[in-house]
Structure 1
Amino acid sequence: MKELPVRKQYYLLWWLFLAIAWLPFPVLYLISDVLYGLLFYITGYRKKVVFQNLQRSFPEKNKEEHLKIAKQFYRNLTDILVETIKLAVISPEQLKKRVQILNPEVIEAETSKGKLVLAMGGHQGNWEWAPSGGIPFLNCPIDVVYKPLSNTFFEAFVYGIRTRLGPNLVRMKDSLRFLIQHKKQPRLFCMLSDQTPPKSEIQYWTTFMNQYAGFFVGGEKLAASFHMPVFFIHAQRVGRGYYNFKFIPIEPAGAALQSDYPITEQFARMLETWIHENPSDYLWSHRRWKHERPVGS
């Protein structure tokens, strides 16, 4: 892990997180149950955002159905929180029992040719476990694009748990430079591609869950520049604390041919399909639709 932040007020929190991480999974999920009650019933953490997102994304569903999805979403969210902390101490053997990559051969078929490969995912299932869980299954380095956190303590802790089992983190602003430096090395380059760009940086708008949404197009530009095959990361929660992931080729076809950014368009359609199949496993507390599409864009 990164060095412990110098500021002493963070020492107790650091050791508290490590103490929680050492707890067995049954106890962690008891903590998760308590957190669920606190977030949903007491503090109402981002409930307005969650219900607004659900109502607009699923206008065909009634209030009871929205409530059911919301409750399960908060349960999943608190599970992800304790599972992410568990990354601080979990062994590779433990994680391999809980995370399965169903078709690593499709990535190896490309990296065996010396290619860089781009994997585009969203906030699905436990996105924090996916990179570390993929290390035992893939015979190539795994790089993950990220944005550093502003708080020095959380940046040090999160950076440490994300990298301790092998994944390499690449700052978003350094992506192009990094790929130039490693263009002759077969690697899996992963991006969470459903994040909301700053309004001034949105280059592509499309409908997404019954609303217009702006998308980053950096992944598509990198794929074109480095001739990278592109895959969608499909996640599945198969049980509490158990996840499967598989790679599906993103092939810009059909309606996507009418788009200036066909890979980004196809990613949006694939993620939308996944959300309809797994509605409570998406990150509904995220303000994904906070920007309005400018007239004429």
Structure 2
Amino acid sequence: MKGISLLPFWVLYGFSTFLYGVLYKLIGYRKKVVRQNIERSFPARTQQEHRQIEKQFYQNLCDVIVETLKMVSISPAELQKRVTFKGNEKAEAYLQQGHQIIAMGAHLANWEIMSAAGNLRFDFPIDGVYKPLSSSFFEAFMVFLRSRFGIQLIPMKDTLRHMIRHKNQPRLFTMLADQVPPYGHIQYWTTFLHQDTAFYVSGDKLRESFGYPVFFVGMKHQRRGYFEIEFIELFPPLQEKIESKQHPVTHTFARQLEQWIEANPSDYLWSHKRWKHKKPAEQAHSPES
């Protein structure tokens, strides 16, 4: 993998284009899932628009594969050259004031590059919540890859313990908040991209417990191999702790992510089975729960 990683970008993107032909045109990798997700998410768009999003998504997916391999050897200077930031000044101001930041991202553009680039931009520790992989080889590989630029990986089950240990320390606590919760753990449903969708509510629980400000972190392509990461403040620091049965952080995150995907549709991970759970019949007439 390191040997492949040492190849220049133009060679890797040439391989990505070949891989696109194999995955999309020859094998049709998860094409049924991708097509259904796109068509249901954008019912007002034409079939031609759906197919254009689909094709660009598959090209982006193949680029993510080779870009992730490139992360094994890419230099900090090369990575910085390819990623620009927008709106991060407010997050940096909070950090300088001694606050911890909750940064909620999603599977947009190339999320592996997003976490690595953040470590080069901020002069504060960055923690990343993740789900350990079942394969010991790929678990070791991804931990190496994600930790290479300094991010501290936190298994999901250790989140609360870690945050208590580092309470009131200025650092960024990051999570990909668009993942699908196991059916028995679903606490919140909302309409997202015209479909009943379940979300984890970790953002609400952490803000209620610690009062930290919350940011949405979006990522989009500027052109092939170049990206923009934007920080959008969702909630300022809490002045006092609250307990609520509602989920304002999760709801606001879902709305912001929906808006981002509408504007940058091919950057989302459409091959993921995001809508595999069905909303219970007793909640069918409630837009949120």
So what's the TM-score if we normalise by structure 1?
Answer: 0.90
SS at match of 1:150: coil
Q: Which residue of 2 aligns with 1:151?
A: 135
Instruction: Indicate yes or no: 2:196 matched with 1:239.
Output: no
Q: Which residue of 2 aligns with 1:202?
A: 186
Question: 108, 114, 123: which one pairs with 1:124?
Answer: 108
8 Å contact kept, 2:87–2:232: no
Q: Which residue of 2 aligns with 1:73?
A: 57
SS at match of 1:250: strand
Could you tell me how far apart the structure 2 residues matched to 1:291 and 1:72 are? 27
8 Å contact kept, 1:251–1:266: no
Output aligned runs, 1:1-297, within 5 Å: 17-251=1-235, 260-297=246-283
Could you tell me how far apart the structure 2 residues matched to 1:142 and 1:85 are? 22
Could you tell me how far apart the structure 1 residues matched to 2:216 and 2:234 are? 6
In the comparison of the two structures, how many residue pairs are matched? 276
Deviates more, 1:202-211 or 1:106-115: 106-115
Shift of the 164–238 alpha-carbon distance from structure 1 to 2, 3 Å rule, reads: same
Q: Which residue of 2 aligns with 1:14?
A: none
SS at match of 1:263: helix
SS at match of 2:281: coil
Could you tell me how far apart the structure 1 residues matched to 2:23 and 2:208 are? 42
SS at match of 1:64: helix
Could you tell me how far apart the structure 2 residues matched to 1:43 and 1:141 are? 42
Structure 1: tracts of 5 or more residues without a match: 1-16, 253-257
Q: Deviations over 1:171-203 (max 9, x none)?
A: 111000000111131110001000110111000
Task: Tell me the amino acid that sits aligned with residue 291 of structure 1.
Answer: H
Could you tell me how far apart the structure 2 residues matched to 1:100 and 1:178 are? 29
SS at match of 1:128: helix
Task: Tell me the amino acid that sits aligned with residue 87 of structure 2.
Answer: N
Task: Tell me the amino acid that sits aligned with residue 131 of structure 1.
Answer: S
Could you tell me how far apart the structure 2 residues matched to 1:88 and 1:155 are? 14
Q: Report the CA distance between 1:230 and its aligned residue.
A: 0.1
Could you tell me how far apart the structure 1 residues matched to 2:125 and 2:267 are? 27
Q: Which residue of 2 aligns with 1:255?
A: none
Q: Report the CA distance between 1:29 and its aligned residue.
A: 0.1
Q: Report the CA distance between 1:236 and its aligned residue.
A: 2.0
Q: Report the CA distance between 1:102 and its aligned residue.
A: 2.2
Structure 2: tracts of 5 or more residues without a match: 237-243, 284-289
Q: Deviations over 1:130-159 (max 9, x none)?
A: 111112221211111100110011111111
Q: Deviations over 1:75-103 (max 9, x none)?
A: 00110111011111011111000112223
SS at match of 1:231: strand
Could you tell me how far apart the structure 1 residues matched to 2:72 and 2:86 are? 25
Q: Report the CA distance between 1:259 and its aligned residue.
A: 8.2
Structure 1 residue runs of 4+, over 6 Å off? Answer: none
8 Å contact kept, 1:116–1:226: no
Task: Tell me the amino acid that sits aligned with residue 246 of structure 1.
Answer: E
| RMSD over equivalenced CA pairs, Å | 1.4
Could you tell me how far apart the structure 1 residues matched to 2:51 and 2:220 are? 22
